[in-house]
């Protein structure tokens, strides 16, 4: 029960709205980038390309992972000591871009009869895909569809500006990480109030922000978090932090290059030791 009285001002209202979406029940959030896209193969950023052959293979493996890990609750039978698996309600979110929808295409969608905490029994549409425009990748504007090398050659001033301040840099007629943070705010509230496991199939820039939010990283750190392809990141928020587990579903030797490897100089130039020996910033791409 919430009682709000005489709340005035923009910031107090935002705080009240955020608090009203919180709950103390355990929950799990799974982050996965889309499978390798045709643009990834070419090293291009942005666009709305489909998946490569390796990307489709990852989509199939992700569907198997969903069925065996995300949509089930594992318990140990005290009398026999055997592991039991019970199907539980789960959610699936994607962006509106083609590569994320294609990555979700093999995930099974069925109907589940579930008994809720209040005793009610209802039908649940398991892993129903919800396309959220808030989850679309950071828009590169005039640089959309180019490689980082082409951006450096054609727009050297823009390239250097991005290297100096990746957080606040906005692509010409495009977006910045600060813009993405603002459009992800409503989804952050929804993730806070959701109780069921959520699989979010999104993009590198988007998952960097979501990961930083739950792991307690600063805005300045967020643009440099490693979010590799072919990897599911499991996050379990709790009262005093967030537990993380990374599961690689497809080794990098099974495919061509990631394609979105950014220039080394995109690390903060003001502090070259920023990510040295840091497992978060230098997490291997499988």
- Catalytic amino acids? 33-34, 40, 99, 137, 203
Please work out, in degrees rounded to the nearest 5, the angle formed at the alpha carbon of residue 9 by the alpha carbons of 213 and 13.
Answer: 45
For residue 95, CA distances in Å to 98, 99, 262 come to 8, 9, 22
Give the C-alpha separation, 189 to 260, whole Å: 29
Q: Residue 154, SS3?
A: helix
Give the C-alpha separation, 134 to 204, whole Å: 14
Residue where the block lists tokens 């910033």:
281
99 in Cβ contact with 51 (< 8 Å): yes
38 in Cβ contact with 52 (< 8 Å): yes
């Amino acid at each position: 029960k919430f009682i709000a009285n005489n709340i005035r001002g923009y910031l107090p209202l935002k705080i009240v709205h955020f608090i009203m979406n919180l709950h103390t029940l355990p929950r799990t959030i799974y982050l996965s980038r889309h499978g390798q896209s045709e643009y990834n193969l070419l090293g291009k950023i942005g666009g709305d390309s489909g998946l490569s052959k390796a990307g489709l293979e990852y989509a199939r493996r992700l569907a198997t992972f969903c069925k065996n890990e995300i949509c089930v609750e594992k318990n140990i039978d005290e009398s026999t000591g055997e592991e039991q698996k019970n199907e539980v309600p789960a959610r699936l979110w994607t962006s509106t871009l083609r590569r994320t929808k294609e990555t979700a295409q093999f995930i099974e969608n069925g109907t589940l009869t579930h008994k809720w905490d209040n005793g009610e029994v209802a039908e649940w549409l398991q892993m129903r895909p919800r396309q959220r425009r808030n989850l679309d990748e950071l828009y590169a504007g005039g640089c959309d569809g180019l490689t980082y090398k082409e951006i450096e050659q054609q727009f050297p001033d823009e390239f250097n500006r991005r290297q100096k301040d990746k957080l606040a840099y906005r692509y010409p007629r495009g977006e910045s990480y600060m813009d993405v943070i603002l459009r992800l705010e409503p989804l952050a509230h929804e993730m806070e109030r959701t109780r069921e496991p959520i699989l979010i199939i999104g993009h590198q820039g988007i998952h960097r922000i979501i990961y930083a939010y739950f792991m307690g990283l600063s805005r300045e750190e967020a643009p440099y978090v490693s979010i590799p392809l072919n990897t599911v990141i499991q996050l379990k928020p709790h009262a005093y932090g967030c537990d993380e587990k990374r599961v690689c579903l497809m080794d990098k030797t099974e495919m061509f290059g990631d394609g979105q490897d950014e220039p080394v100089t995109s690390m903060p130039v003001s502090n070259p030791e920023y990510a040295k020996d840091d497992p978060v910033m230098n997490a291997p791409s499988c």
